């Protein structure tokens, strides 16, 4: 069976100094910059042009400086989808060693041929040879919104191609805008967009009838299910705005037909940012985060409510007053289904829950503890299940938007203790690493490769 990508999008050791590597010869932009690179002309235009309401000047990125890569071949690699701090240089994928003895060693980077994308979520293909990163604000410069990287040589990632959907314009969660409704995007094995779901009449009426602004996406391949969670209408975070429009809903999908089964509501959820199936759960239950409420809800996709509708949501755990309206709550679950970790962005906190007994959830962190993190958002349990990686950056729209969360632009490598608790350990400081070359850097998301057994690489 040919594997494809499912993506949700809104309508969502040292070497010699190396020159900036060129992309693959066949690297493609489906939409080149509207203003071509003109030495001596476009550089000052990029720096001096005033911000426009919503749309931005479609300038190409400033020339990228050379960098010093590494000949190390670590067993564990973190790939970070990163925005240039000045929004003028190219956005990029940065690879770092996560091995104990060489942790934080910069390996390589791959530029994309555009800037100002506000790199968002990052995913990996089934065969582990391609990464895909979405751009939250790419459309503001009329650029492609999804960027693909060849990691068949894991130590030398290379930009491969980019594209954008027609019916949606902000690429968000990936396993696989401006306004609502968005779409669930599917590509073929060559990463060409082949579908934008829903495509059937009933599904189209469903997303037109109630806000469909998907942010969370989780797939249960064995049980033939997809869950998407609706967060905010992205255009409402940009000025001029009457206020951010949040959603209270999730959609339950049939995976095989890519059709919506039902809409599930979390009353007054105020943005259901994330949803993930619990590995190994006999009912295929999933956990969803309600940002306004500061709560974790459990979704039972095979249960029926009193009206006979498939899919039931129940409150699982209240994270307390410090989690209310914390802008964003993102999560990851260990593969044994025992622990969930959640980033509370505006609260500068990472929560840990023991969910091994869903009738008796236990909190493992101290909600009053001051943790060494500012603006945590994206979180990933490492393939060996011994650590979590957290990136301290969510969204900063600057003068053109309403969301500008504080951040220290670090990647945190946090140990998981035997009881599931967390021990803060090491960090990678992107702001200082790229301060001179790109005005800093904003790492939003990460994919981790574990090559401990080269014959059986694990990537997540």
Cβ atoms within 10 Å, residue 63:
11
| Average pLDDT score over residue span 179-190 | 83
Q: 3-class DSSP state for residue 205? A: helix
Q: What is the mean pLDDT of residues 282-310?
A: 98
Asked if residues 162 and 24 have their Cβ atoms less than 8 Å apart, the reply is no
The pLDDT of residue 450 is 98
What tokens appear for 444 in the block? Answer: 């939003």
Q: What is the mean pLDDT of residues 352-378?
A: 98
**Band (166; pLDDT cuts 50, 70, 90):** confident
Note the pLDDT of residue 324: 98
Cα→Cα distances 193→178, 200, 350, Å:
19, 17, 36
Helix/strand/coil (H, E, C) string of 49-97? CCCCCCCCCCCCCECCCCEEEECCCCCEEEEEEEEECCCCECCEEEEEE
Measured distance CA(344)–CA(366) in Å, rounded: 13
Q: What are phi and psi of 447, to 5 degrees?
A: -120, 135
pLDDT in tens, 278-289: 999 999 999 999
Is residue 262 scored above 60 in pLDDT? yes
Distance (Å, rounded) from C-alpha 258 to C-alpha 203?
A: 9
Confidence of residue 20 (pLDDT cuts 50, 70, 90): very low
pLDDT of residue 14: 27
Least confident of 153-162, 202-211, 347-356, 418-427: 202-211
The pLDDT score that the predictor gives to residue 15 is: 30
Instruction: Note the pLDDT of residue 181.
Output: 83
- As a whole number of angstroms, the distance between CA 381 and CA 217 comes to 17
Three-point CA angle 114, 236, 147, nearest 5° = 25
Give Cβ neighbours of residue 456 (< 8 Å, ≥ 6 apart).
none
Cis peptide before 240 (omega within 30 of 0): yes
pLDDT score recorded for residue 178: 40
Using the structure block, give the residue that is written with the tokens 């492609």.
144
- Contact status, residue 168 vs residue 235, Cβ threshold 8 Å: no
Give me the residue spans of the domains in the chain: 5-459
Among positive and negative, which fits the CA dihedral 64, 67, 71, 73? Answer: negative
| Model confidence at 404: pLDDT above 50 | yes
Of the candidate ranges 24-38, 73-87, 424-438, the one whose mean pLDDT is the lowest: 24-38
Bridge partners of 385, per DSSP, are: none
- Three-state SS at 428: strand
Distance of CA 441 to the CA centre of its chain: 16
Q: Residue 132 pairs with which residues in a beta bridge?
A: 123, 148
Spatial distance between the Cα atoms of 62 and 338, rounded to a whole number of angstroms? 46
> Are β-strands 272-277 and 259-265 bridged in parallel, bridged antiparallel, or unpaired?
unpaired
User: pLDDT band at residue 140, thresholds of 50, 70 and 90?
Assistant: confident
Q: What pLDDT digit, counting tens, does each position of 415-440 carry?
A: 999 999 999 999 999 999 999 999 99
Give the C-alpha separation, 388 to 424, whole Å. Answer: 10
Report pLDDT for 313.
98
Whether residue 111 is predicted with pLDDT greater than 60 in this model: the reply is yes
What pLDDT does residue 293 have? 98
Q: What's the burial of 237, exposed, middle or buried (CB within 10 Å: 0-12/13-18/19+)? A: buried
Chain length of the chain: 460
Closest residue by Cα to residue 433 from 45, 89, 106, 23:
106
Amino acid 306: pLDDT: 95
Fold observed for domain 5-459? Methylamine Dehydrogenase; Chain H (2.130.10)
Please report the pLDDT score of residue 33 as a whole number.
Answer: 56
**Predicted local confidence at residue 16, as pLDDT:** 32
pLDDT at 395: 94
The per-residue pLDDT of the chain, averaged, comes to 89
Is 60 exceeded by the pLDDT of residue 12?
Answer: no
> What is the pTM for the complete model shown?
0.89
pLDDT of residue 368: 97
């Amino acid at each position: 069976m040919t594997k494809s990508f499912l993506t949700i999008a809104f309508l969502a050791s040292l070497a010699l100094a190396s020159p900036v590597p060129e992309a693959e010869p066949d690297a493609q932009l489906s939409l080149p910059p509207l203003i071509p690179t003109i030495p001596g002309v476009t550089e000052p235009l990029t720096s001096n042009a005033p911000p426009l309401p919503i749309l931005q000047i479609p300038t190409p990125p400033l020339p990228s400086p050379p960098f010093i890569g590494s000949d190390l071949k670590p067993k564990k690699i973190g790939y970070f989808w990163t925005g240039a701090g000045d929004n003028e240089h190219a956005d990029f994928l940065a690879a770092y060693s996560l091995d104990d003895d060489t942790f934080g060693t910069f390996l390589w980077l791959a530029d994309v041929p555009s800037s100002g994308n506000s790199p968002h979520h990052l995913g990996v293909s089934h065969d582990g040879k391609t990464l895909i990163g979405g751009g939250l604000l790419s459309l503001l410069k009329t650029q492609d919104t999804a960027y693909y990287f060849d990691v068949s040589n894991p130590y030398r990632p290379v930009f491969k191609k980019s594209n954008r959907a027609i019916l949606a314009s902000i690429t968000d969660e990936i396993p696989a805008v401006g306004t609502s409704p968005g779409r669930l995007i599917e590509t073929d094995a060559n990463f060409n967009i082949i579908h934008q779901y829903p495509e059937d009449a009933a599904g189209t009426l469903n997303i037109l009838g109630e806000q469909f602004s998907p942010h969370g996406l989780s797939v249960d391949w064995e049980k033939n299910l997809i869950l998407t969670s609706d967060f905010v209408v992205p255009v409402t975070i940009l000025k001029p705005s009457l206020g951010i429009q949040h959603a209270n809903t999730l959609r339950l999908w049939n995976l095989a037909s890519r059709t919506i089964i039902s809409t599930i509501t979390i009353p007054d959820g105020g943005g259901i940012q994330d949803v993930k199936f619990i590995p190994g759960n006999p009912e295929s239950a999933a956990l969803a985060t309600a940002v306004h409420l500061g709560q974790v809800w459990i979704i039972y996709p095979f249960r029926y409510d009193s009206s006979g509708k498939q899919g039931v949501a129940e409150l699982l755990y209240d994270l307390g007053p410090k989690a209310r309206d914390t802008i964003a709550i993102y999560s990851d679950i260990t593969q044994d289904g025992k622990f969930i970790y959640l980033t509370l962005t505006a609260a500068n906190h990472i929560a840990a829950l023991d969910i091994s007994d869903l009738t008796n959830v236990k909190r493992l962190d101290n909600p009053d503890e001051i943790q060494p993190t500012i603006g945590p958002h994206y979180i990933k349990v490492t393939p060996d299940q011994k650590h979590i990686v957290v990136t301290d950056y969510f969204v900063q729209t600057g003068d053109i938007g309403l969301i500008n969360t504080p951040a220290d632009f670090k990647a945190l490598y946090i140990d998981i203790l035997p009881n599931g608790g967390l021990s803060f350990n090491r960090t990678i400081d992107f702001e200082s690493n790229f301060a001179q070359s790109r005005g800093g850097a904003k790492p939003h998301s990460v994919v981790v490769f574990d090559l401990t057994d080269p014959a059986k690489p694990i990537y997540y």
